[in-house]
Chain A
Amino acid sequence: MTRAAPPLIAALLLWQLLVQLTGVPRFLLPAPSEIGAALWQNRAMLAAHGLVTFAEMLAALICGAALGVLLGLWLAWSETALRLVRPVLVFSQTVPIFTLAPLLTLWLGYGFGSKLATGVLVVFFPVASAFLDALLRTPAELLDLAKVMGARRGRLLWLIRLPAARPGLASGLRLAAVYAPIGAVLGEWVGASRGLGYLMLLANGSAKTPLMFAALVVLSALTFGLTRATGLLAARLERV
């Protein structure tokens, strides 16, 4: 974080300088100072919309990760499910979520539900996929030992396969934290009356480009916070 500060400040200064020297219109590219001003002037509105989006992305991450974990465990538990469901799971990813978002909005309305659904759809797959792969990759020697010991299937999953798969789950969660905001904002773009995605569309439509950038800054900050928090959790999972 502190190491990223000097280059970031340098980039902002350069940006400011370029905008002032070239005189590019502010509705095309506002200077950082104008974005800062927009951030400050609209702080109450940005906070309100930001809170909505943050709740959506957090809920999507939690629900999507939970769904991914359950799917991974289910498919690792049952060979029949693995054979039948895994191809469907992979095939489901060939449908771009973007095309599903309008449908979800139609079904679930303009509120929280459709955003949660889009978010969950984006988030669950990387978690399920990484976790399942790890669950299926338990070292063969350990499985042999467990077999000689007369292990029950459920105890084997709980005592050996699941703990051994924690690093896989951790990498799935890290990806999910990056995807969750995309899912939430995607839902807001398709149809919403609140949230940062909605605010960005609105600001863009009325040529309030500094406000749009300000919303983007808030969104980046929220995403950063979410990925950092998830990263800490993932590091805990990876620790032996």
Chain B
Amino acid sequence: MTPPGLWLDGSARFGDSALFGPLSFRAEAGCWTVLLGPSGVGKTTILRLFAGLSRAEVSGGFGASDGQPLAGRVALMAQTDLLLPWATALDNICLGARLRGERADPARALRLLAEVGLAGMERRKPGQLSGGQRQRLALARTLMEDRPVVLLDEPFSALDARTRSEMQALAARLLTGRTVLMVSHDAAEAARLGQRILILTRAGLAEAAAPEGPPPRDATAPALLQAQAGLLARLLAA
């Protein structure tokens, strides 16, 4: 499974309304890219285009760097956990396989459950889990899909600071090697996780230097806080 990179060129419009201006977007293969920006600039549209969920037209096209279709090679993790409240943790993890009419591998599901720190909780329903545990379960469901490209739509923004920090570290560890595109409006998150950081504002797309070291970086290190401040300054200036 060699993950492909992602590319998008041009501007997007849906019917008569323009969604974002002309830009040239690249996400490198096997690399964690953070698309940072304020609300309403089209970050989520870009993500939804790659997920095959947007019917917006892109003037210059978009797709995978290897030229193959993206459908079936993408996993999505959204802002809310999107767990089925009536299904057990195990059934939730195996949702993708069940929806495709395939046989899910329960041993692998249990291993992933243990990896995200939910060992022994496979019979629980989402209502019996805390907010952090539910987001762990959503991460396990994303990993269970085993797709080379993973799209993250602000998945940790609704969590408290401590849980968010734990989830970021866990996701960074478990998603290594895949092409990850994370949409975020949080400069701290971008500084902590991004191997490449792209800032999208109304003015267009610009690349910011990512901090040194592999993600997840220490969120309390002064160098990281400085990088975060730099990103924030650029967000505010735009």
A196 to chain B, nearest CB (A): 40
Q: Which residues of B contact A144 (CB under 8 A)?
A: 48, 51, 53, 76, 78
Task: Confirm or deny: A145 has a beta carbon within 8 angstroms of a beta carbon on chain B.
Answer: yes
Contact A149 B51 (CB under 8 A): no
Q: Count contacts on B: residues with CB < 8 A to the other chain.
A: 25
Contact B51 A148 (CB under 8 A): yes
Complex interface bits, B98-141 against A, C-beta within 8 A gives 1, otherwise 0: 11110000000000000000000000010100000000000000
Interface range on chain A (Cβ under 8 Å from partner): 10 to 19
Task: Confirm or deny: A155 has a beta carbon within 8 angstroms of a beta carbon on chain B.
Answer: yes
Q: Which of B72, B78, B127 contacts A150 (CB 8 A)?
A: B72
Contact A147 B52 (CB under 8 A): yes
Contact A149 B95 (CB under 8 A): yes
Task: Confirm or deny: B28 has a beta carbon within 8 angstroms of a beta carbon on chain A.
Answer: no
Contact A148 B82 (CB under 8 A): no
Task: Confirm or deny: B41 has a beta carbon within 8 angstroms of a beta carbon on chain A.
Answer: no
Q: A144-B51, A163-B84, A163-B86 are in contact. Are A149 and B99 (CB under 8 A)?
A: yes
User: Could you count the A-B residue pairs with CB atoms below 8 Å apart for me: how many are there?
Assistant: 58
C-alpha gap A188/B180 in the complex (Å): 68
Task: Confirm or deny: A146 has a beta carbon within 8 angstroms of a beta carbon on chain B.
Answer: yes
Which residue in chain A gives the minimum CB-CB distance to B75? Answer: A148
Q: Can you show 23 pairs from A to B with CB atoms below 8 A apart?
A: A141-B78, A141-B80, A142-B82, A144-B48, A144-B51, A144-B76, A144-B78, A145-B78, A147-B52, A148-B76, A149-B99, A149-B145, A150-B71, A150-B72, A151-B99, A152-B99, A152-B100, A155-B98, A159-B99, A163-B84, A164-B84, A166-B86, A240-B85
Q: Which 10 A-B pairs have the closest CB atoms?
A: A151-B99, A149-B96, A148-B76, A240-B85, A155-B99, A240-B86, A163-B86, A145-B82, A144-B53, A148-B51
B residues lining the A interface (CB < 8 Å): 48, 51-53, 71-72, 74-76, 78, 80, 82, 84-87, 95-96, 98-101, 125, 127, 145
